[in-house]
Amino acid sequence: MSAAENAPVHSRISEEALNRIFRDARTYRVWRPERVPGAALRELYELLELGPTSGNSLPGRFVFLVSEEAKARLLPAMDPGNVEKTRTAPVTVIVAYDMQFIDQAREAFKNPNAFSGLVDKPALIEETAFRNGTLQGGYLILAARALGLDCGPMSGFNAEKVNREFFPDGRWKANFICNLGYGDGTNMPPRPPRFAFDDACKVL
């Protein structure tokens, strides 16, 4: 085999990109005042939606709160420690999942038999929606960082209150909430430690 045939299909992305998306990326809790353009939210969605989900189920749903009125509907559901960071963030996303993702996928992709193994199995539907919707929330964080946005993900909120306020018909359910914008890096605490490879991984 020639050297060219042995070459990997893709080269690594740049160190700068790796630093931005992973090594230097932090959870932000204080925000600079610059707004996030509406076009950036669209671009963010178009990138995150390309991440893989089982059977292309795409159960993740995303509610971008940008107006003061929309924020005011969310704040009473946030834990006290998460109120101010959410109030001041330029954008707050409710990362949700759709319990009727099967219907939407069947209709959109013109495949009336898609996910037939899940039909009438609510526990399996919920597991599939939650697993893949959570992955899509992770893709959102990485895509945001790739676009130069900073994130502040949060699970400190009352999901029942959020669901009642934003999803009263019960079809979508809140998974986690993520502030987005341009983080203020002054007075950042040091990054919390991570586990070493041998403490969290096995190679079998």
Ligand X SMILES: Cc1cc2nc3c(=O)[nH]c(=O)nc-3n(C[C@H](O)[C@H](O)[C@H](O)COP(=O)(O)O)c2cc1C
The site for ligand X (CB under 6 A) is made up of 26-27, 29, 82, 153-156, 176, 191-192
Closer to ligand X by CB, 29 or 173: give it: 29
Q: Using H for helix, E for strand and C for coil, what is the string for the chain?
A: CCHHHHCCCCCCCCHHHHHHHHHCCCECCCECCCCCCHHHHHHHHHHHCCCCCHHHCCCEEEEEECCHHHHHHHHHHECHHHHHHHHHCCEEEEEEEECCHHHHHHHHCCCCCCCCCCCCCHHHHHHHHHHHHHHHHHHHHHHHHHCCCEEEEECCECHHHHHHHHCCCCCEEEEEEEEEECECCCCCCCCCCCCCHHHHCCCC
Closer to ligand X by CB, 98 or 150: give it: 150
Q: How far is the CB of 93 from ligand X (least distance, A)?
A: 12
By beta carbon distance, the residue nearest ligand X is 156
Q: How far is the CB of 191 from ligand X (least distance, A)?
A: 5
Closer to ligand X by CB, 6 or 187: give it: 187
Q: How far is the CB of 36 from ligand X (least distance, A)?
A: 19
Q: How far is the CB of 58 from ligand X (least distance, A)?
A: 20
Q: How far is the CB of 80 from ligand X (least distance, A)?
A: 11
Closer to ligand X by CB, 114 or 137: give it: 137
Cβ atoms of 197 and 119 within 8 Å: the answer is: no
Closer to ligand X by CB, 106 or 138: give it: 138
Nearest Cα residue to 167 out of 105, 111, 97, 108:
97
Q: How far is the CB of 76 from ligand X (least distance, A)?
A: 16
Closer to ligand X by CB, 121 or 191: give it: 191
